[in-house]
Amino acid sequence: MSEGGQPAKDEDPGTRPPVREQASDGPSRSGSTALTSRVWRAGRTGWALVGVAAALVLAGFVLAELSLVVVPVVLALFPATLLVPVSDALKRIGVPAALAALVALLAGLGLIALVLGLMVPLVAMELPELAESAGEGLADLQRMLSSHLGIEIDSMSELLEEGAEMLGEAGDIAGQALAAAIVAFETIAGALIMLVVLFFYLKDGRRLANGVRLTAPSHVRHHLREISDRAWSTLSSYFRGQLFVALVDAVFIGLGLVILGVPLALPLAVLIFFGGLFPVVGAVTTGALAVLVAFADGGLVIALIVAGLVLVVQQVEANILQPYVLGHAIDLHPLVVLLSITIGAIVAGILGAFLAVPVAAIVARSLDYLREDGPETPSPTTSPAQASSGDAE
């Protein structure tokens, strides 16, 4: 009560704290602050993505300019996955590192020369007949579709003639000869660089990997080591497993072609083996070629049987053999595999298609590691000596 008996409600309103106004302004201000914070975070994220994309484009340009060196360095990793166990076994029994690497390298080259010496002449002799049979199969398929379904498709001969005309208009003979000479020189130089790099992979692979890791800051070396170990394990499992899967495909489909009496079974089996190194796409392409040859020689019934054989072998491979042999090395959805091969082929042709799946598998394994609970970061109570000792390990 105020003096004079007036109630407190008659006091000057200006002296009261604006409680209601503060309550109404608080949520709007906090909401505005939160919205501004989200906008800033989105902007920073967008610019970070732009920076990453620009860095990738720049790296791709640099790698393309240095392809004569980069491609052999990358391709040497694949035979290294097969030869490193041989070199390590020789080192364990006391063989010097350089001699062990040289013996493993020569053994690998001898095996490749033996396989090529046995297969290439046979395939080369029957390759013209294989192309002719495939062309006949396409011609028969064209006639069947035209007579029964009214569908018209260009014949292989017309496509080849158009391609020859385009090549003839592309440039003169001197320019084509110069381009061929440059390609031959780059191929020979790349092969020699690849052999030298492979030798040092076999001799000093661990030292080279440790040297690369030491260039990174100390607090990320452990993560880099884990990621590089997973990448090497994935690449080794993928390449060895894919070779075995491709060999199984070639053997069983080749035996089926022999039993059905399809001509050119051996060159078709060899092509199926090399096609098996390109998951999904290679198997479909080489299988279709086998079906065309069977259709040209034995008619529609034999072609359908060959198509069924190819489908059965590929289903067994995809659902039984690959999960058992490859395990989690290529635990990718078929759509991811197909898109990876397509993007790789667009970016770098056949080489890109060959590298696409192992690169995608390595990226997937690396992301799995980054999503896992990695090593604990030093807590505020952890001494610098303890943190540095953990990094040194």
Number of domains, the chain: 1
What single-letter amino acid sits at 259? I
**Residue 164 domain flag:** no
Q: Which two tokens stand for residue 55?
A: 């860095």
CA distance 200 to 212: 14
CA distance 86 to 104: 6
pLDDT at 44: 78
Helix or strand holding residue 63 (H, E):
helix 19-65
**Residue 194 domain flag:** yes
**Residue 206 domain flag:** yes
Beta strands in the chain (DSSP E): none
Phi, psi of 149 (to 5 degrees): -115, -10
CB of 235 closer than 8 Å to CB of 79: no
Q: 93 is in which domain, residue-wise?
A: 63-120+171-215
Q: Which two tokens stand for residue 368?
A: 């799995």
Return the number of other C-beta atoms located less than 10 Å from residue 90's C-beta: 20
**Residue 182 domain flag:** yes
**Residue 356 domain flag:** no
Q: How many CA atoms lie within 13 A of 240 on its CB side?
A: 17
| DSSP assigned state of 336 | H
- CA-nearest of 217, 194, 237 to 357 is 237
CA distance 28 to 22: 10
pLDDT at 141: 62
Q: 355: helix, coil or strand?
A: helix
Interior angle at CA 52, CA 47 and CA 55, nearest 5: 125
Q: 293: helix, coil or strand?
A: helix
pLDDT at 375: 47
Q: Which two tokens stand for residue 81?
A: 């996955």
pLDDT along the chain (393 residues), means of 10: 50 51 53 74 79 77 77 89 90 90 91 79 66 64 60 48 47 58 77 90 87 84 86 87 86 89 82 81 80 78 87 81 68 77 81 84 84 53 42 41
**Residue 207 domain flag:** yes
Return the number of other C-beta atoms located less than 10 Å from residue 180's C-beta: 10
**Residue 67 domain flag:** yes
**Residue 309 domain flag:** no
Helix or strand holding residue 129 (H, E):
helix 97-148
Q: 381: helix, coil or strand?
A: coil
Q: Which two tokens stand for residue 275?
A: 């096609």
Q: 217: helix, coil or strand?
A: coil
Handedness of CA 317, 265, 139, 146 (dihedral sign): negative
CB of 236 closer than 8 Å to CB of 255: no
Handedness of CA 298, 302, 304, 309 (dihedral sign): negative
Locus of tokens 């393309």: 64
